[in-house]
Chain A
Amino acid sequence: MTMSTYQRVRSFIALSGSLVLALAVVSYATHASGPDSRNAPKFYDDDPLMRAPDTQDASKVQPRPISLLLDAAINLFGDPGLRDVGRAESVNTIDEVPDSNWFTNRVGTRPVTPDEMYRGPSEDVGPAPGKWTVSRKANGVSPGFTITDERNKRYFVKFDPPGFPELGTGAEAVVTRLFHALGYHVPQATVGTLRRDNLVIGRDATVRMPNGGVRKMRMSDIDDQLRRAERNPDGSYRVIFAEGLPGKSLEGFKYEGTRSDDPNDVVPHENRRELRGLRVFSAWVNHTDAKAINSLDTLITENGRAVVRHHLIDFNATLGSAGIGPRERRDGYEYLAETTPTFKALPAFGFYIRPWLNIHYPTYRGIGRFEAKRFVPEEWRPRVPNPAYVRSRADDTFWAARKLMAMSDELIRAAVKAGHYTDPRSEDFLVGALIERREKIGRAWLTSVNPIVDPALSEDGVLTFRNIAVDLQFAPAPPGYQVTWFRFDNVTGDSTATGESTITETRATAPADALARVRADTTLPGGRGQFVRVDISVTGGTFASWASPVRVYFRRAQDGWRLVGFDRMPDAPRMRPGVVGAEPQEPGK
């Protein structure tokens, strides 16, 4: 054996020993927390997440055209989406929707001023004065085209239907602002005036010919569009200027499934809280047309990464407008095809009178068929079943209703003002109707599930919370609340009861040893002992559903107890898509 060979053997032995030792160290480190360490903890240190980031490059996402007919047919007759309805998956651990490329918390989370509401999604106030270059005309029933102003800013121009001034443009301006304030990504929409003389045809502007080919656009193509629009007495047109969204258009998103080519789109859309909750907001403003082609995905750059942002667009068929005229009386009350009323009506010789047939609507300019008196939030329907809406559970509608309650009368008036209704009675009526519909929504959906909100646990062990249904006077104060305390093991998920109390106020003190023992356990590895769970239910009272407790989790932090978990329906049965919202899989249970 030579020296070099000896050295190589020694090195090999040393390295092998090192590897074995290292493996032992790593093995200890990864298994030190015991046999349950393979289970994910219920809470991580960064919970609750307030921003859901898109971490992957989505630059390869391609536009996905959606067939209006197929989408409608599938949703009317096919019931697409997951059959088993559980808790929304896009919520954080405190049951809120974090900011994301789907949703940004605004009203109800931070102060929104009437000025901000009136301004809308951006500072943009419409195209700059000067010539506007038409680059593309709209396909479809409603007239419209795309223009570019002298600053090279792009706008989509939409009109009012002939005979119905202010109807579509007013609705679009108002609802754009309301939906933006509620948290959705929407393009800015401003009411303005367009004159034919102000338009020039873009050098590269083309139109699709009836035979599928394209040719250069002519002024007669613009005139064809203008002929289908309501014209002002002075020959101008009242229009909506919808600001072009930044990024590459990827067409719309469906309300079920995920985009197969978007790596960041991992939550089935029908399980997104913000899309389930859209049912409530849509009911509020009678947005019966929230379908795939009225959404738009765009590829944008965020923090140096290409990601997809999801928008709601086209609000001219909201409130009392159907875009091409006042909405049908059926809109909001019955799907385009619905079995039960059809089978009732078929043999009835016309004497099955739908309740919506004899609703009285105001005749104010620009309002169309919109009212509040006969509005029943839980029964409201879009034109075609929406996969996310029919899976909305009581916690989804509660979340949305609570957000809506933060929409003050002043904010509503500011949004309606942006509709620039020329008749003050129209503005007053619309504000009043929206307020009344908001109140009906609160009364319906803030009471349909245990309405405990804002739980907090002070350093000295005093638990406080609010009953929002009572606070907003949608329900009388219940006789009392039951509060059950648990020590919670974040690793195993086990809860150990430590005491319970029945209280008459929305304030309770923790049992003497409940928090002390938790404090004493904070040094356990893996975060096992830093949590306390509190179940709060209502005893007595008007609403049976309030007896099911909400489940609240607090984490011991350096500066006290921090809310880390909230589940409004922890014991909810498995559910299935219903006619308008989720229903228990076994009715009655």
Chain B
Amino acid sequence: MIRLLSRFLTAILFITHVAAAFAQEPGSRAEEQARQQEAKARTVTTYVSPWIEQRLLAVENAGGFGVARGLVVKFGDIKRGSGFAPGLGYGYTTSGGGTLAAKGVYSIKNYKLLQVSAQSPPFSADRVLFRARARWQDAPKVRLYPLGPDPPNLRTDYAERKTEVSGEALLKPVRFLRFDGGLGVEWFDTEFDHDEIQFGRTSFEALPGAGADPRYIHSRVSGAFDLRDSEGYTRRGTLLTATYHNYHADSNGTYSFDRVDGAAEQYLPILHGNWVIFLGLWASTTMTEDGGQVPFFLMPDVGGHDLRGFTNYRFRDRHAISWTAEYRWYAQEFLDVAIFYDAGKTVPTRGALDFKGLHSSIGGGVRLHTSISTLLRLELAHSREGYRFLIGFSPVGP
């Protein structure tokens, strides 16, 4: 009887335990919470970052998108007028911070670019930098109009291939002063499809440098006084810059020349940057020895990027001047709206380099940007030659 009783009690205890274990209701709030945690403990999984997060983390840990490393997608950087130009690049960063990079870009207009480049690590507390590159560029359809201050709207295209091997040194002694100098060899090969010449064979053959295909030793020095808050996207500050080029044609001395480009830009923020007024003035002039010529494909030009209501390279001659007035307003942290007025011309003599008889255009658009770079410009411009829609990936200016 006692054994029976003890078995009965044992069974009671056993079943009570089992019942308790499977009971639906916890006995306390603490137990309720413990059960939730216990249930999760049975299903915990190690977090695995999605692919996109892994890629972004790699970029962030490397120091940002500007750091060259591995295979990357590239856009643009071919001759103006190439249209949308995607490509592939490969970057390698050395342990000291120098970079080696290679890229190939192919545009929807059949423009091609191959380039290998190297950049030294920054020296002397980011004050000194060296760069070198070898570059081959093929632009099969570059717009060409007659030279002169007011040429007719007659257009042909020419093909331009340029091969370049060059190096440069940059010096930034203080934050607002910048100097750089470069030396390179440049081969040009230009070609016309005679069937497509619309404004006459005579006009084409009269262009200086047509068919000459000179090889240049190109040296240049430049200096800049730069008080802008950032180069890639500016809301305040001043930029004064001048560059002197010497193109020494070692194959045909006739085409040796000098060129000077100057720029003055002023960004004026009003109401803490809600409005920004931008005034830009750019001028280029070329110089030759007596009897010398500047080949047409290296002449200063106006149109497209600076005189936005006209097509790329619409005006081309020995000297050029253009200016822009732009009124920009803040729509959002990464978005500005702008309206602008551009004016400019090209002239055959330096004496005519003034503000008379400028071609003009007006327009407006939006800019997507970060605090230091312009990501996208969408603009609609109007001139006497009609409307143009522009897509840009850099600030306004030559």
Contact = CB atoms under 8 A, between A and B. Distances in A.
B231 interface: no
18 contacts: A15-B7, A26-B16, A44-B28, A46-B30, A55-B34, A68-B60, A208-B61, A209-B96, A209-B97, A210-B67, A210-B99, A211-B92, A211-B93, A212-B93, A265-B40, A341-B332, A342-B332, A350-B274
A22 B334 contact: no
A26 B327 CA distance: 84
A358 B270 CA distance: 11
A212 B331 contact: no
A18 B13 CA distance: 11
Interface stretch (B46-54, B243-251, B281-289, B303-311): B46-54
A44 B46 contact: no
A549 to B, nearest CB: 24
B274 A45 contact: no
Contacts of A62: 46-47
A47 B30 CA distance: 9
A67 B29 contact: no
A328 B61 CA distance: 25
A32 to B, nearest CB: 13
Contact of B56 (A46, A67, A263): A67
Interface stretch (A254-262, A390-398, A506-514): A254-262
A227 B19 contact: no
* CB-based closest 3 A-B pairs: A350-B329, A263-B41, A18-B8
Contacts of B71: none
B334 A337 contact: yes
B332 A345 contact: yes
Interface in A2-48: 14-15, 17-19, 21-23, 25-26, 29-30, 37-38, 40-41, 44-47
A350 B327 contact: yes
B11 A18 contact: yes
- The interface centre, meaning the residue of A22, A54, A139 with most chain B CB atoms within 10 A of its CB, is A22
A265 B93 CA distance: 41
A117 to B, nearest CB: 32
A81 B94 CA distance: 42
- The interface centre, meaning the residue of A211, A266, A328 with most chain B CB atoms within 10 A of its CB, is A211
B40 A56 contact: yes
B336 to A, nearest CB: 10
A92 B30 CA distance: 11
Contact of B28 (A18, A46, A67): A46
B332 A53 contact: no
- The interface centre, meaning the residue of B12, B40, B337 with most chain A CB atoms within 10 A of its CB, is B40
Interface in B254-276: 271-272, 274-275
Interface in A50-95: 52-57, 60, 62, 64-70, 92-93
- The interface centre, meaning the residue of A53, A212, A259, A348 with most chain B CB atoms within 10 A of its CB, is A212
Given A55-B33, A70-B53, A264-B37, A345 B47 contact: no
Contacts of A93: 29
A260 B47 CA distance: 6
A53 B30 CA distance: 8
A357 interface: yes
Given A15-B11, A18-B8, A353 B274 contact: yes
Contacts of B93: 209-212
B206 interface: no
Contacts of B31: 44
A338 interface: yes
Interface in B20-39: 23-34, 36-38
A374 interface: no
Contacts of B271: 353, 357-358
B69 interface: yes
A108 to B, nearest CB: 23
A40 B46 contact: no
Interface string A335-363: 01110011001101110011001100000
A210 B97 contact: yes
Contacts of B49: 64-65, 67
A26 B22 CA distance: 12
Nearest to B70: A212
A213 interface: yes
Given A37-B25, A210-B63, A261 B274 contact: no
Interface string A306-321: 0000000000000000
Interface string B349-384: 000000000000000001000000000000000000
B62 A14 contact: no
Contacts of B59: 69
A330 interface: yes
Interface in A321-339: 328-330, 334, 336-338
A53 B29 contact: no
A209 B34 contact: no
A215 interface: yes
A49 interface: yes
Given A64-B49, A342-B332, A346-B331, 5 more contacts: A47-B29, A57-B41, A261-B44, A263-B41, A337-B333
A70 B29 contact: no
A261 B47 contact: yes
A26 B26 CA distance: 16
Contact of A348 (B53, B327, B329): B329
A407 to B, nearest CB: 30
B333 to A, nearest CB: 5
A480 B98 CA distance: 76
A53 B19 CA distance: 25
B331 A342 contact: yes
Contacts of A69: 56, 59-60
A30 B19 contact: yes
B15 interface: yes
A439 B333 CA distance: 30
B96 to A, nearest CB: 8
Contact of B12 (A14, A25, A40, A264): A25
A123 B170 CA distance: 51
Contacts of A45: 27-28
B330 interface: yes
B278 to A, nearest CB: 13
B7 A53 contact: no
Contacts of B63: 139, 210
Nearest to A383: B333
Interface in B70-99: 92-97, 99
B335 interface: yes
Contacts of A25: 12
A212 B8 contact: no
A64 B50 CA distance: 12
A64 B47 contact: yes
Given A49-B30, A52-B33, A14 B4 contact: yes
